[in-house]
Amino acid sequence: MKISMDIELTDIPGQLVLALKPVSDLGGNILSVLHQRDKKTPSGRIPVQLTLEIEEQGLDRLVERLKERDVNVVRIGKERLKESMMVLLIGHIVHTDLGETIDSIDSTGFAEVVELSLSMPGVDKKSSASVTLSAIGKEELKEALNILERTVNKKGIMIIPSI
Amino acid sequence: METKLPKLVRISIIGLGNVGRGVAEVIRRKQEEIKRKYGIYLKIVGVADLPGAVVDENGLSEDAIRKFKSRETTEDMTTLDMIKDVEHEIVVETTPTNVENGEPGLTHIITALESDRHVVTSNKGPLALQYGMLMDLAAKKGKELKFEASVGGAMPIISLINDNLAGNGIISIKGILNGTCNYILTRMREEKLPYKHVLKEAQERGIAETDPSNDVAGRDTAVKLVILANSIFDRNVSYKDVEVSGITGITSEALKLADGAGYVIKLIGEVDGGSSGECLKVAPRLVPKDDPLNVGGTLNVATIKTDLAGDITVIGKGAGPIEAASAVLSDIIGIYM
Ligand SMILES: NC(=O)c1ccc[n+]([C@@H]2O[C@H](COP(=O)([O-])OP(=O)(O)OC[C@H]3O[C@@H](n4cnc5c(N)ncnc54)[C@H](OP(=O)(O)O)[C@@H]3O)[C@@H](O)[C@H]2O)c1
């Protein structure tokens, strides 16, 4: 998947190469590097913005390896998901495998469930959830909504999208 | 100086219910003003209810209509005979909506057009089922068939689009077209009460019918959407083509969650021209609190997306005898303007 990442390097020559190496080591691809040599963080580090392509499973290890090399990872780009919408679900949300419902979106690679709040009034009563979907573009967001609709329809859950 | 005589416009009203009697009342109230302003003199020469029709070519008095309604007097003829044989210009059709076969309104409207009379109706059934056929018949006869009251009651939408927004391409229409559902969802949210409780309250206040299913299941909204789809977007759809879900499953917890996130839940009908996506659906939707579609109580609202004017939103009373009669009256006057 494609992600963006803000990192901070110590101000020593060769740090950038050192920081980029684990990406290729883990089978990833650097798509762009924005290296602002003239900018410094208050702690004297140099901020760099990366865009890269990497397997989702590799992401955690990448962050670990960067830390080992004294690279600060300040942000992992959720903002690649530019479009968001809220939907509401009403029904037996938890007992119909909420994990799988969320997974149906997260596994697309182009959309994610970025926020979820649940309201469960009683054991055998219907619960409600507000879910924020984010996707990389408008079309993808629409598709994510379709997928979610199909998933919850099968489970007898009502879905209320925003206008 | 030459003074122009007002044009006599003779009218019959079929269906003396809330709307039919409302039409009789507003005609009575506004008769002089309309004569002065528009140069037409409206005269009710016949009214019909379930048993049949009473007629008076000199104009039916308020009292005569009331007595016939309370069955103190009996009918002079059948409704269809009145439509065919009594000389008049406009038939106002306000019998109950029937989305199974459109009757009795369908036969009334066909008979009226075939008898060379204009038709103004608030009845959704015939339009939702036979729009194309009825419009063709009206065109063939050179008569008008107008139906502003059938969608959104007093809220102007059909003539707003056809007259005021003429020249604009209409991209989509989205709105709340059922006041009962709006009332229920508004009260549930404001009072944090469950659906069943609020429905009962709405029934007691005369806002919801004893059998509320047409409203709460979204069918009434669907029928209005079909009328918009056919009349505004030139689509050829019927009631069965609409994707419908209603509000019966909405819980107060869901409304609370929505509220916390800055939204309200409304039953929204949405229709577009069909070029991109062919939308024709009725469903509960989240509406941002600051969106113009967020109106409360029994109000109706519609946002019309146009290619030149941008978004236009109209808000108005969707039901009520005088409100619906307002739309009927403006259709009547519109025929002569
Ligand atoms: N109420 C509103 O605010 C509103 C707004 C917009 C549109 N509409 C539409 O306008 C129409 C009238 O609504 P409404 O509220 O006035 O309904 P209503 O009060 O039920 O009135 C319908 C009237 O039609 C009569 N009728 C029934 N069958 C007839 C027949 N075969 N021939 C002649 N008259 C007949 C009924 O008589 P009986 O009472 O003896 O059966 C009743 O007086 C409906 O189609 C409705 O959907 C209503």
CATH number reported for the structural domain that contains residue B120 in this entry: 3.40.50.720
CATH assignment of A2-79?
A: 3.30.70.260
Which structural domain range is residue B123 located in?
A: 7-154+322-335
Q: Based on the domain organization, do B133 and B265 belong to the same domain? A: no
Phi-psi region of A13 (alpha: psi -120 to 50; beta: other; left: phi over 0): beta
Nearest Cα residue to B250 out of B239, B258, B242: B258
Q: Is B180 in the pocket of ligand 1 (CB under 6 A)?
A: no
pLDDT in tens, chain B (337 residues): 556 789 999 999 999 999 999 999 999 999 999 999 999 999 999 999 999 999 999 999 999 999 999 999 999 999 999 999 999 999 999 999 999 999 999 999 999 999 999 999 999 999 999 999 999 999 999 999 999 999 999 999 999 999 999 999 999 999 999 999 999 999 999 999 999 999 999 999 999 999 999 999 999 999 999 999 999 999 989 888 999 999 999 999 999 999 999 999 999 999 998 655 589 999 999 999 999 999 999 999 999 999 999 999 999 998 899 999 999 999 999 999 9
**Distance from Cα B106 to the centre of ligand 1, integer Å:** 13
Tokens of A35: 């290296």
CA distance B209 to B330: 27
CA distances from A82 to A49, A139, B174 (A): 17, 11, 25
CATH assignment of A83-160?
A: 3.30.70.260
Q: Based on the domain organization, do B129 and B265 belong to the same domain? A: no
Overall residue count recorded for chain B in this entry: 337
Flag if B254 and A128 touch (Cβ within 8 Å).
Answer: yes
In chain B, what residues touch A121 (CB-CB under 8 Å)?
251, 253
Q: Is residue B1 part of a domain?
A: no
CA distance A79 to A3: 9
CA distance B176 to B273: 18
Nearest Cα residue to B261 out of A67, A72, A140, A87: A87
Provide the shortest C-alpha distance from residue B279 to chain A (in Å): 13
CA distance A52 to A142: 25
Q: Does B327 touch chain A (CB under 8 A)?
A: no
φ, ψ for residue B264 (rounded to 5)?
-120, 165
Give SS3 for B37.
helix
Q: Based on the domain organization, do B298 and B205 belong to the same domain? A: yes
- Quickly list H helices, chain A: 15-25, 58-68, 98-106, 138-154
Q: Based on the domain organization, do B180 and B45 belong to the same domain? A: no
State how many domains chain B has.
2
Nearest CB to B254; choose among A86, A90, A161? A90
Residue type, B306: T
Q: What is the DSSP letter of A2?
A: E
Q: Does A127 touch chain B (CB under 8 A)?
A: yes
- Domain ranges within chain A, ordered by starting residue: 2-79, 83-160
Q: Based on the domain organization, do B150 and B73 belong to the same domain? A: yes
Q: Provide ipTM, 2 decimals.
A: 0.83
* Topology alike, domains A2-79 and A83-160: yes
